[in-house]
């Protein structure tokens, strides 16, 4: 079952729109601190931080979507290659990879993806990654 929906903003609490407005102020450089942005739109910092990574306005360019996924990989030859092959199978393009050194034989990996041409949902990709040997703690960090 898909975990994301597109809904009419009229059924959402007003704070959702205000969080998007605050994030836009920060992204456009109109304000430089979260405290300035939330004050301008009339919400609390807590409300902003609660929703900032989970509510998005659909962009005019839905064909240029990005996602960030984090996971833990067991320190064993070939596991990262299998992860990359699984991402490729979904027809997502890897933009960046950040892999930390293994500690206790597990390494944290975060990658950003261009998901514009992906042939499956993010839930399906994450489930596919979870099913690979040596992969754990797969988490969708953000979507744009």
Check whether residue 72 and residue 45 sit in a common domain. Answer: no
| Residues 18 and 87 reside in one and the same domain | no
The candidate with the shortest Cα–Cα distance to 73, out of 95, 99, 96, is: 99
Indicate whether 13 belongs to any domain: yes
Indicate whether 92 and 136 sit together in one domain: yes
* CATH label of the domain that carries residue 126: 3.30.70.260
Q: 72 with 129: CB under 8 angstroms?
A: no
The answer on 138 and 70 residing in a single domain is yes
Q: Sorting pLDDT into bands at 50, 70 and 90, what band is 61?
A: very low
In a domain, 114, yes or no: yes
Q: Is the pLDDT of residue 58 over 70?
A: no
pLDDT at residue 59, as a whole number: 58
116 versus 73: the higher-pLDDT residue is: 73
Domain extent at residue 46: 9-51
Whether residue 2 lies inside any domain: the answer is no
Structural domain includes residue 4: no
Total number of domains in the chain: 2
Domain-located, residue 3: no
Residues 100 and 139 in one domain: yes
Which of 51-55, 59-63, 100-104 is predicted least confidently?
59-63
pTM above 0.75, yes or no: no
Per-residue model confidence (pLDDT) at position 95: 93
Over 80: is that where the pLDDT of 31 sits? yes
108: pLDDT strictly greater than 50: yes
User: Residue 140: pLDDT above 50?
Assistant: yes
From CA 116, how far away is CA 98, in angstroms rounded?
A: 21
Q: Is residue 61 part of a domain?
A: no
| Residue 22 pLDDT greater than 90, yes or no | yes
Specify whether 22 is located in the same domain as 89.
no
Mean pLDDT of 78-106: 94
Same domain, 79 and 133: yes
Q: What is the mean pLDDT of residues 16-32?
A: 90
70/139 same-domain check: yes
The whole-angstrom separation of Cα 37 and Cα 54 is 18
What pLDDT is stored for residue 1 in this prediction? 47
């Amino acid at each position: 079952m898909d975990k994301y929906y597109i809904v009419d903003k009229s059924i959402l609490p007003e704070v959702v729109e205000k969080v998007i407005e605050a994030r836009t102020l920060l992204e456009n450089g109109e304000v430089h601190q979260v405290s300035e942005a939330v004050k301008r739109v009339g919400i609390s910092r807590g409300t902003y931080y609660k929703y900032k990574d989970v509510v998005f306005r659909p962009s005019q360019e839905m064909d240029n979507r990005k996602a960030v996924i984090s996971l833990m990989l067991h320190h064993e030859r070939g596991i990262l290659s299998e992860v990359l092959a699984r991402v490729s199978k979904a027809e997502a393009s890897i933009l960046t990879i950040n892999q930390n050194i293994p500690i206790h034989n597990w390494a944290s990996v975060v990658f950003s993806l261009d998901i514009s041409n992906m042939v499956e949902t993010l839930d399906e990709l994450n489930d596919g990654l979870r099913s690979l040997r040596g992969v754990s703690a797969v988490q969708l960090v953000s979507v744009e």
